[in-house]
Structure 1
Amino acid sequence: MAVPAHLVGQTLGHYVVLEQIGAGGMGVVYRAHDEQLDRDVALKVLPFGMLADDAARKRFRKEALSLAKLNHPNIATVFEFGRQGGIDFLVTEYIPGVTLDAKLVAGALPEKEVARLGTQLAEGLEAAHQQGVIHRDLKPGNLRITPDGRLKILDFGLAQLMPHASQIGLTVTLTQSQQVTGTLPYMAPEQLRSEPLDFRSDIYAAGAVLYEMATGRRPFEDKLSTILTNNILHKPSPPPGLFNPTLSPRLEDIVLKCLEKEPDNRYQSAKEFAVDLQRLQSPSIAPAVAGARIQLRRPVMMTVIAVLSVLALLFAVNIGGWRERLLRGPTPQIRSLAVLPFENLSRDSDQEYFVDGMTEALITDLSKIGELRVISRTSVMEYKGVRKHLPDIAKELNVEAIVEGSVLRSGERVRITAQLIRATTDEHLWADSYDRDLRDVLAVQSEVARAIAGAIHVTLTPQERLRLRRTRPVNPEAHEAYLKGIFYLHQLGHRDPEKATQYFQRATDIDPVDALAYVGLADTYLFGAVRSDQTFSSREALLKGKAAASKALEIDGTSGGAHVALARIREYLEWDWPGAEAEFTRALEVDPNNADAHRWYSTYLSVIGRHPEAIAEMKRTQELDPLSRVVNVELGWSYLYARQHDRAMEQWRNVLEIEPNYYLIHHSLGLGYLAMGKYHEALPEFEKAITLGGGFDLWNLTPLGRAYALSGNRVKALQILKQINQLYKPRTVPPVAVAMIYSSLGETDRALAFLEKAYEEHSTDLVYLKVDPVYDPLRSEQRFEDLMRRMGLPP
């Protein structure tokens, strides 16, 4: 028997049916008039057959009466359950206004309205949860907004009372055979898995509703239920800021916390949810009654008077500069900071690699924020174990704020404490502690970065928000191997590329989808190929590096480090100049403060002859890594390639004053003297470089042989060439080194022959052919021009 279509004008019990106002999976809803109490009510006629027998009807009545006990201004009140003429009906409070789904037809709501309505929703949920009632089918269609802006939650608990009804008439639902109640786009993952539900399932649904209010769309818009189900179960919700760039980071964090896949990671009560929404509104909420007199209880009043008296005294005598503090305006925005090496609270030196890894990870996350200038790892590690006043450190690094912290690892748990300090005033701007499972360490690092960004009022772009939320649980064993690889790749005094390779490889073996480990592998192969003490180039290493970088990007297309590695491989291995620039550009888009990206992009720009841009990029690198000796030396090289010899020498002499025993400075000064024709001044610089630690390797012997050749000492130059041959036996000497010495000896044909051999071997060092002063004597040769053309270098 179907529900009669002619109920309008009929009477059910003491209710006169006035008009139909809605219909859905749980029945048809009418506005009716209560003849006994002279009020309008909502009368929901249940679908025929929903209650199969009197026993089911009795259970429904019992549950409905328990719902009637819910008494809260944001919950529609249940009055009674009745039956007449074979029709089962439920009577509830009549609420004028529109449903939220009707309101959202016009698009997203203003943030203030989202926060206001969201707070009411959370408060209504909290009241029901306190009574042990879960909604189970929260969605915009079950929320009604009254003309005066009050939100009312409808159909509380009916999804449980009518376990199949919620699937009737929905555009996207699961099949009934799954015995899952609810509306699919708003269902929590545990609900889809038919697991036991608790209040946190409602919080997930509330997050989905807030998402729709804030963006005008659902977290997942898929129409096919199989795809939608998979996305809800496995894919992180896209940050709502992607669809509404005006959304504040605080509201976005609230929404995404509700939408966490695991209930333990969501708000643990609707009260917590409501409190955060209230905090979001607090800066702009006016008193409920403007100008109303507030009467304080005597103890409170006395406390207020005492506080005001103290403040008046501080203001009057200006103790500790309090007058300036009270009169000071809003805290100025901070746009530069440094993360100092975290303290290892375990005092176990074997854990240093782990603690340093946490420091580097936070730097990496903060570096993704374009509005910030974040000092790179190389420079901040200079302060490891150093006791120095923060203002002094800030001045040396040219930053406004410092992040300090500590790490304590115990078994599979890690506790990270961090604080943000304005360096000039020692003012603590933010601090927090995080105690988590080791598997969640990446999420914690991202959370710290977002909290710091919020504390200094940085506006994150939607893409930055997404990158800072794109984390996943780690395999603790794999992550430990990765951190050890980073330690051996970067740590001064401990650098060991072979060990680094082993640890990165172990990390990828354990966790084949660890993009960070693949980036580490790519960097290590590049280090071996381009900076090896034993060979000037290694095609095999570059091919391995390319495979690792490509795999990293396959896993995470937003990995700045992977794009940098691939850019360098495009440059050194493939001589694909446009391809290299595209990768560098993408790296800087996703990771604007990546000092390595700026450094290697600068080198690339020098190689192709765009010198003003190259110098600007190296200066940007210097801003991000001010204490790096290598960066300060390479700025001089940028000047040298641009034939700005005086500026190059000035740069190197400035570094020499600070680092008089750094071998690379003397090596570079020697190159400068050679370029300027001061060959005799060059010789002692190269000899000093060898004495100070450079050693008798190809890197130092080649320019020394050139210096002897150009100063007229042919015998010594040939002796150096013989020494290089002995050094490489039984291997072949890298042909570029031999070509450099023959060019300096004036033996053009031999020099060009060895450059041709280098071309056949695809030597990485040929990339400097266009700009290195060593090749100036050959530039008028047709064969040299032809070689540049074949490499695709611009003329």
Structure 2
Amino acid sequence: MTNAGERQLGHYTIIRQLGAGGMGEVYLADDKRLARKVAVKVLPADLTRNDEAKRRLLREARSVAALDHPNVCTVYEVDEQDGRLYIVMQYVEGETLADRLSRERMPLNACIDVAMEIASALQEAHSHGVVHRDIKPANVMINVRGQVKVLDFGLAKSAATIEQSATDLLVSKAGTISGTAPYMSPEQIRGSTVDGRSDIFSLGIVLYEIAAGARPFDRPSAVGTITAILFDPPPPLTREEFKPLQSVIETCLAKNPNDRYQTAADLRGELQALREGRATTAEARTGVREARLAPKHAVDPEAEQLVLKGRVQWNKRHPEAVKQGIDLFQQAIERDPAYPDAYAGLADCYLMLAFLQVVPPTDVLSRIKAAATRAIQLEPGLAQPHATLGYAAGLFEWNWPEAARELKEAMRLDSNYPWAPHWYGLLLTGRGEFEEAIAHMQRAKELDSLSPIISVARGIPPHYGRRYKEALTLYHAVIETEAAFAPAHYYIGLT
């Protein structure tokens, strides 16, 4: 949309540009058919450079279009012109929350009202399985009547899946942190599965920013900010007027999702109680919360960065990438020998090398056990190394009791870690316990609906149970969104 010849998109006539950013250019346009003003977001070409990316984004847009709520900016249409996708949305006349905060400080009640409306929008979205992933003041509009409208539901998810590493999303080539990163949850930064509680964490940062006039985890460097999000408690609020919000914000900003408000409705209820002058349940938990928020270990920032990069390499599931992951995790351990996540990542990489048949399992089994055990010694509540030990015991040693014990312990420690039920389901399949395997595979799919590996694996239990039609349906469902995904074609060929 850079020259005069591109002033028409479908039946929408472009009037003027409203803004631009990493998620595309936004224009005010005239809808000639319905005689109304609309906002048109033209998405960057690199988000839609292949058919798979387009299908993913269209799927997200359709989910958002199903939302019908006064605090959600309505999506009217998604279309394509000259190879560029564009999204037609409700035009909200007003200003962003970011603009409002740059101009003035908001009083307590106005802060609570805005947060309640954002929570209401999240409640609606989460009830439809839509997680925003990019809650920040720039994505919150306040219209001329003072009503909140939350923008860009689902788009951050699509952007984050188009061949970008977690580190790429956080830090630019110049080493500066992106505009989105200061509002990310710890699980987003780690590249873990996220659910609605991640949005609650981000809303907690927005609440803190309104109350304090600054974000709670901002540091001079990008790595410092990332590390603060992962490990540091938010500084206490100093403005007397906003101190009643302290316990609510701390609950939102718990590092473990299980310690936050579990739903946006819960958070909205707390804010409503505060607005009406009633005591909140968060206030009763403040002492416990402070203990939980205290960092267990001050991680070396460079080690944290190395682990993030190592996870990206492991997730590629390619021999050379996994070897790079091993090197990165070893570098992290050299910098910080007491960092449990580095040992857990190292164990996963050794397991992946054996799984990919790059090395015999006997060559790396002792290394898997040593790294995972060390991670557990450093942080007994970490689920990941237990899952790794369990899968290794079942896959390489055929030690079913040990495998079941470790994988069940991983699921107990973190019910949102998708690889534990995924691996448990695979081992159950090998034992012929197909129905229980299917249930665990479905749970893994619910936790990570975008993982093609987890999606393909749902077909394995019915496949080996000789329910071939059911298996083929699941395999082909992956091909519809991941046309070039080799494991899906492999299993189709076996069926």
Query: Normalization by structure 2: what TM-score?
Result: 0.54
Task: Say whether the 8 Å CA contact 1:137–1:182 is kept in structure 2.
Answer: no
Quick one: structure 1 residues 433 and 274, their matched pair in 2 at CA, closer, same or farther if it must change by over 3 Å? closer
Aligned to 1:184: 181
Q: Report how far residue 79 of structure 1 moved.
A: 1.0
Quick one: structure 1 residues 118 and 112, their matched pair in 2 at CA, closer, same or farther if it must change by over 3 Å? same
Q: Distance in 1 between matches of 2:81 and 2:104?
A: 42
Aligned to 2:262: 268
Higher RCO (CA < 8 A, seq sep 6+): 2
Quick one: structure 1 residues 271 and 7, their matched pair in 2 at CA, closer, same or farther if it must change by over 3 Å? farther
Q: Report how far residue 165 of structure 1 moved.
A: 8.2
Q: Distance in 1 between matches of 2:202 and 2:231?
A: 16
Out of 258, 267, 272, the position equivalent to 2:252 is: 258
Amino acid at match of 2:265: K
Aligned to 1:196: 193
Aligned to 2:2: 4
Please give the secondary structure, in 1, of the residue aligned with 2:17.
strand
Question: Is 1:206 paired with 2:214?
Answer: no
Aligned to 2:276: 282
Question: Is 1:246 paired with 2:241?
Answer: yes
Out of 22, 26, 35, the position equivalent to 1:25 is: 22
Q: Report how far residue 59 of structure 1 moved.
A: 3.3
Q: Report how far residue 469 of structure 1 moved.
A: 6.9
Task: Say whether the 8 Å CA contact 1:172–1:224 is kept in structure 2.
Answer: no
Q: Report how far residue 161 of structure 1 moved.
A: 1.6
Deviation string 1:101-136 (CA, Å, 9 cap, x unpaired) is 111102431000000011000010000000000001
Question: Is 1:144 paired with 2:136?
Answer: no
Let me know the Cα RMSD of the aligned residues. Answer: 3.6
Task: Say whether the 8 Å CA contact 2:185–2:198 is kept in structure 1.
Answer: yes
Q: Distance in 2 between matches of 1:188 and 1:100?
A: 20
Counting only pairs closer than 5 Å after superposition, residues 29-108 of structure 1 correspond to structure 2 as 29-108=26-105
Quick one: structure 1 residues 136 and 433, their matched pair in 2 at CA, closer, same or farther if it must change by over 3 Å? closer
Q: Distance in 2 between matches of 1:431 and 1:120?
A: 18
Task: Say whether the 8 Å CA contact 1:190–1:196 is kept in structure 2.
Answer: yes
Task: Say whether the 8 Å CA contact 2:119–2:267 is kept in structure 1.
Answer: yes
Out of 113, 116, 120, the position equivalent to 2:113 is: 116
Quick one: structure 1 residues 433 and 100, their matched pair in 2 at CA, closer, same or farther if it must change by over 3 Å? closer
Q: Report how far residue 182 of structure 1 moved.
A: 8.4
Amino acid at match of 1:4: T
Q: Distance in 1 between matches of 2:209 and 2:44?
A: 29
Aligned to 1:161: 158
Q: Distance in 2 between matches of 1:432 and 1:198?
A: 22
Aligned to 2:411: none
Amino acid at match of 1:446: G
Please give the secondary structure, in 2, of the residue aligned with 1:17.
strand
Q: Distance in 2 between matches of 1:469 and 1:280?
A: 23
Q: Distance in 2 between matches of 1:152 and 1:205?
A: 16
Question: Is 1:229 paired with 2:229?
Answer: no
Quick one: structure 1 residues 283 and 92, their matched pair in 2 at CA, closer, same or farther if it must change by over 3 Å? same
Q: Report how far residue 83 of structure 1 moved.
A: 1.1
Q: How many residues align?
A: 294
Quick one: structure 1 residues 102 and 5, their matched pair in 2 at CA, closer, same or farther if it must change by over 3 Å? farther
Quick one: structure 1 residues 22 and 182, their matched pair in 2 at CA, closer, same or farther if it must change by over 3 Å? closer
Q: Report how far residue 26 of structure 1 moved.
A: 0.4
Q: Distance in 1 between matches of 2:99 and 2:109?
A: 19
Amino acid at match of 1:149: G
Q: Report how far residue 432 of structure 1 moved.
A: 9.3
Q: Distance in 1 between matches of 2:280 and 2:28?
A: 54
Deviation string 1:150-171 (CA, Å, 9 cap, x unpaired) is 1110000101122268999x99
Quick one: structure 1 residues 433 and 29, their matched pair in 2 at CA, closer, same or farther if it must change by over 3 Å? closer
Task: Say whether the 8 Å CA contact 2:10–2:81 is kept in structure 1.
Answer: yes
Please give the secondary structure, in 1, of the residue aligned with 2:240.
coil
Task: Say whether the 8 Å CA contact 1:137–1:181 is kept in structure 2.
Answer: no
Quick one: structure 1 residues 5 and 433, their matched pair in 2 at CA, closer, same or farther if it must change by over 3 Å? closer
Aligned to 1:494: none
Counting only pairs closer than 5 Å after superposition, residues 547-562 of structure 1 correspond to structure 2 as none
Please give the secondary structure, in 2, of the residue aligned with 1:52.
coil
Task: Say whether the 8 Å CA contact 1:166–1:182 is kept in structure 2.
Answer: no
Deviation string 1:455-494 (CA, Å, 9 cap, x unpaired) is xxxxxxxxxxxxx77974899xxxxxxxxxxxxxxxxxxx
Amino acid at match of 2:269: V
Query: Normalization by structure 1: what TM-score?
Result: 0.34
Please give the secondary structure, in 2, of the residue aligned with 1:247.
helix
Quick one: structure 1 residues 214 and 64, their matched pair in 2 at CA, closer, same or farther if it must change by over 3 Å? same
Q: Distance in 1 between matches of 2:9 and 2:229?
A: 42
Task: Say whether the 8 Å CA contact 2:47–2:54 is kept in structure 1.
Answer: no
Deviation string 1:474-525 (CA, Å, 9 cap, x unpaired) is 99xxxxxxxxxxxxxxxxxxxxxxxxxxxxxxxxxxxxxxxxxxxxxxxxxx
Deviation string 1:318-337 (CA, Å, 9 cap, x unpaired) is xxxxxxxxxxxxxxxxxxxx
Counting only pairs closer than 5 Å after superposition, residues 303-342 of structure 1 correspond to structure 2 as none
Structure having the higher Rg: 1
Aligned to 2:403: none
Task: Say whether the 8 Å CA contact 2:232–2:293 is kept in structure 1.
Answer: no
Moved more, 146-155 or 180-189: 180-189
Gaps of at least 5 residues in structure 1 are: 285-429, 435-442, 449-467, 476-795
Q: Distance in 1 between matches of 2:163 and 2:134?
A: 8
Task: Say whether the 8 Å CA contact 1:159–1:165 is kept in structure 2.
Answer: no
Identical counterparts, % of pairs? 39
Amino acid at match of 1:246: E
Aligned to 1:558: none
Please give the secondary structure, in 2, of the residue aligned with 1:22.
strand
Quick one: structure 1 residues 137 and 5, their matched pair in 2 at CA, closer, same or farther if it must change by over 3 Å? farther
Quick one: structure 1 residues 91 and 474, their matched pair in 2 at CA, closer, same or farther if it must change by over 3 Å? closer
Deviation string 1:53-95 (CA, Å, 9 cap, x unpaired) is 2343233223212210011100111111111223321111110
Deviation string 1:339-381 (CA, Å, 9 cap, x unpaired) is xxxxxxxxxxxxxxxxxxxxxxxxxxxxxxxxxxxxxxxxxxx
Gaps of at least 5 residues in structure 2 are: 298-495
Q: Distance in 1 between matches of 2:179 and 2:243?
A: 30
Quick one: structure 1 residues 7 and 159, their matched pair in 2 at CA, closer, same or farther if it must change by over 3 Å? farther
Amino acid at match of 1:45: V
Q: Distance in 1 between matches of 2:100 and 2:85?
A: 30
Counting only pairs closer than 5 Å after superposition, residues 355-504 of structure 1 correspond to structure 2 as 446=287, 472=294
Task: Say whether the 8 Å CA contact 2:79–2:85 is kept in structure 1.
Answer: yes
Q: Report how far residue 220 of structure 1 moved.
A: 1.9
Please give the secondary structure, in 1, of the residue aligned with 2:68.
coil
Quick one: structure 1 residues 210 and 471, their matched pair in 2 at CA, closer, same or farther if it must change by over 3 Å? closer
Task: Say whether the 8 Å CA contact 1:25–1:166 is kept in structure 2.
Answer: no
Q: Distance in 2 between matches of 1:166 and 1:6?
A: 32
Out of 10, 15, 26, the position equivalent to 2:12 is: 15
Q: Distance in 2 between matches of 1:431 and 1:119?
A: 14
Please give the secondary structure, in 2, of the residue aligned with 1:49.
helix
Q: Distance in 2 between matches of 1:141 and 1:75?
A: 14
Task: Say whether the 8 Å CA contact 1:107–1:216 is kept in structure 2.
Answer: no
Q: Distance in 2 between matches of 1:101 and 1:77?
A: 20
Quick one: structure 1 residues 469 and 114, their matched pair in 2 at CA, closer, same or farther if it must change by over 3 Å? farther
